[in-house]
Amino acid sequence: MFEFDGGLPGYELRYVPEVRSPGRGAPIDLRGAAFVEVRFRPATTHDSSGVSTLRTARDGGGMPALCDYQFAGGFEGYVRYGLGLEGTVPYRVTELAHPSRIAVDIAA
């Protein structure tokens, strides 16, 4: 689950051979056999005071197919996360309100 202030940004999820940090392009180390890149735009990682705007649960929500997930970085209005999955499985994205959230349901 990804939570946002001020409404939802645009987003894209896709399977990739590896998740890379935006800007530097370095691969991030994720456990798993398959990888999903989650990209939000426009989005930021900090507010004007330097306080983090990222409010994503650290436990991954208890989804059995999710092996790992990590913040990959933010650069020029893009924020990326990487999901490490046990294999290539279907997923569903749901938009939620009050507060604004993106939920990613991963098939077990």
pLDDT, tens digit (0-9, with 9 covering 90-100), for 14-53: 999 999 998 888 999 999 999 999 999 987 766 777 676 6
Provide the number of structural domains found in the chain: 1
pTM here is 0.85
Q: Give CA–CA dist 82/13, Å, rounded.
A: 10
pLDDT, tens digit (0-9, with 9 covering 90-100), for 40-99: 998 776 677 767 666 665 555 566 788 998 989 888 888 899 999 999 999 999 999 998
How many other CB atoms are found less than 10 A from the CB of residue 60? 18
Range of the domain at 91: 2-106
CB 44 within 8 A of CB 10: no
Q: Give CA–CA dist 8/89, Å, rounded.
A: 25
